[in-house]
Amino acid sequence: MIHLQNVEKVYRTDTIETLALSNINLHIAKGEFLSIMGPSGCGKSTLLNIIGLLDAATKGQVLIDNQDTTHLSDKAMAQFRNKKIGFIFQSYHLINDLAVQDNVELPLLYRSSSAKERRQRSAEALQKVGLSNRMKHFPKQLSGGQKQRVAIARAIVGQPEIILADEPTGNLDSAMGDEIMNILLHLNSTEGTTIIMVTHDEYMAKKTHRLVRLFDGSQVQ
């Protein structure tokens, strides 16, 4: 479902060129749960941003669902991203002055869904992560693990085929990390969502189907 062919990423400014990714070839099947590991600065976030159509490769091809995304306009790319991809970050990226349920509804605002539909779908997503009892709370009233569950609900509310997770357990203690990992594993096995997760944690990576290691912008495994 996701094919990267000879992907290269160079960050350029007037004075500096940084080769962040070089000759990446990666084929990710529908329903696969893949983890990406490697030292800080090796290109993990860059790779996730390229797969998530948040940033463009400087060379090579990125195919998602057999569609070549390399030459899409910014608008088409945003639509594609909104429809197919959900994002989860290490630091949750919730909006503090919106209640939990309103945070979860954010991705639906770009779609033509009614307020009633949004209410229903956000409630369902929160139920899937076990937070039906926190819908009216605000992020600061939640634990780290609960905040990440809200972020997962926000990522899945639009029923994306792909979830990209950048160190989803990085800020959590091991019990909460396990809880988040179990939700992702369950989502992957019951709904067939393709998940790509960056992690520093070998223990979490071992629970996924496949591990890709990066070093200095190249695939080493």
Q: Which long-range contacts (CB under 8 A, 24 or more apart) does 130-135 make?
A: 130/183, 131/100, 134/100, 135/99, 135/100, 135/101
CA–CA dist 166, 172 (Å, integer): 13
Q: Does 45 bind ligand ADP (CB under 6 A)?
A: yes
Do the strands 59-64 and 67-68 form a parallel or antiparallel pair, or are they unpaired?
A: antiparallel
CB closer to ligand ADP, 161 vs 166: 166
Q: Does 161 bind ligand ADP (CB under 6 A)?
A: no
Q: Does 44 bind ligand ADP (CB under 6 A)?
A: yes
Closest approach of ligand ADP to the CB of residue 119, in Å: 29
Closest approach of ligand ADP to the CB of residue 7, in Å: 13
Closest approach of ligand ADP to the CB of residue 117, in Å: 31
Name, in order, each residue with C-beta under 8 angstroms of 58's C-beta and a sequence gap of 6 or more: 8, 9, 10
CB closer to ligand ADP, 44 vs 149: 44
- Contact positions with ligand ADP (CB under 6 A) in 47-86: none
Scanning the structure block, which residue is given the tokens 């992702």? 184
Q: Does 25 bind ligand ADP (CB under 6 A)?
A: no
What three-state secondary structure class fits 4? strand
Residues in the site for ligand ADP, rule: CB under 6 A? 11, 18, 20, 38, 40-46, 89-91, 166-167, 170, 200
